[in-house]
Amino acid sequence: MTAVVELHNVVKRYIRGKQRVEVLHSLDLTVEAGEFLALMGPSGSGKTTLLNLIGGLDRPDEGEVTVAGERLDKLSGGELARWRARHVGFVFQFYNLLPVLSAERNVEVPLLLTKLSRAQRRQNVLAALTLVGLADRAKHKPAELSGGQQQRVAIARALIADPTLLVCDEPTGDLDRESAEDILNLLKILNQKQGKTIIMVTHDPRAAAYATRRLYVDKGRLTNEPERTAA
């Protein structure tokens, strides 16, 4: 197995008001290719911050972040943007689709950064929408789709450029149970049948159960077990 994600001694601090708050403390993490990792933990524990560092959306204050063979903490802003386009697919809690674009146009957006022709882009979009079971809703705008369908479109958009890593931040947090299960099954299929490496942040233990490994983030540190509060 090869490591897709390697974090060593990662420290992240934020300035809140006049205070400098350390959100992640000397954190180490390795994620192997083909893993489906669930990151759990209470609100404010640093899950999303960790996910942002792995996805190249933010930079550590200290330590090394290596993802898909690239030292992200060494890349410039432009290099990081190009790296994200090539290696990471993002799925958000609130889908973050562009409201005025149809489903197919939303899925096509990452491909605008490639050299693919319009016909090739269209072909890939159709394949991605078929994969998530929404080929027949290609022309619909996000507002015309249910939450579950919007999240499927978001997953299709995340997959369209065939990224090394899929990063999901509470992907079922805004969905009813049935839709959530659909999405989690879809992620499981992508992990098991297509070998996609997935890192998912969730509060929901039922969602985390779909992952092959679970880690807990608490007060900026990673553990294998949730911290138990004394009775």
Using rule CB under 8 A, residue 109 touches another protein: yes
| Contact set for another protein, span 44-103 (CB under 8 A) | 48-49, 52, 55, 57-58, 77-78, 81-82, 84-86, 90, 92, 96, 98-101
Interface positions, 179-198, toward another protein (CB under 8 A): none
Dihedral angle computed from the Cα positions of residues 116, 187, 4 and 73, in that order, rounded to the nearest 10 degrees: 70
DSSP string, the chain: --EEEEEEEEEEEEEETTEEEEEEEEEEEEEETT-EEEEE--TTSSHHHHHHHHTTSS--SEEEEEETTEEGGG--HHHHHHHHHHHEEEE-TT----TTS-HHHHHHGGGGGS---HHHHHHHHHHHHHHTT-GGGTT--GGGS-HHHHHHHHHHHHHTT--SEEEEESTTTTS-HHHHHHHHHHHHHHHHHS--EEEEE-S-HHHHTTSSEEEEEETTEEESSPPPPP-
Residue 142 beta carbon to another protein: minimum distance, rounded to whole angstroms: 11
Selected from 113, 123, 189, 205, the binder of another protein by CB under 8 A is 113
* Cβ closest to another protein, residue 5 vs residue 214: 5
Judged by CB, which is closer to another protein: 74, or 177? 74
Binding footprint of another protein, residue count (CB under 8 A): 28
- Minimum separation from the CB atom of position 120 to another protein (A): 12
Q: Which residues of 110-126 are buried (b: 16+ CB within 10 A; e: fewer)?
A: bbeeeeeeeeebeebbe
- Which parts of 114-133 interact with another protein (CB under 8 A)? 118
Residue 78: CB minimum distance to another protein, A: 5
Which is closer to another protein, CB of 58 or CB of 182?
58
* Residue 17 binds another protein, judged by CB under 8 A: no
Least CB distance to another protein at residue 91 (A): 11
Q: How far is the CB of 55 from another protein (least distance, A)?
A: 8
* Two structure tokens written together for 164: 């090394």
Touching another protein, residues 201-220 (CB under 8 A): none
Sites of contact with another protein (CB under 8 A): 48-49, 52, 55, 57-58, 77-78, 81-82, 84-86, 90, 92, 96, 98-101, 105, 109-110, 112-113, 118, 157, 161
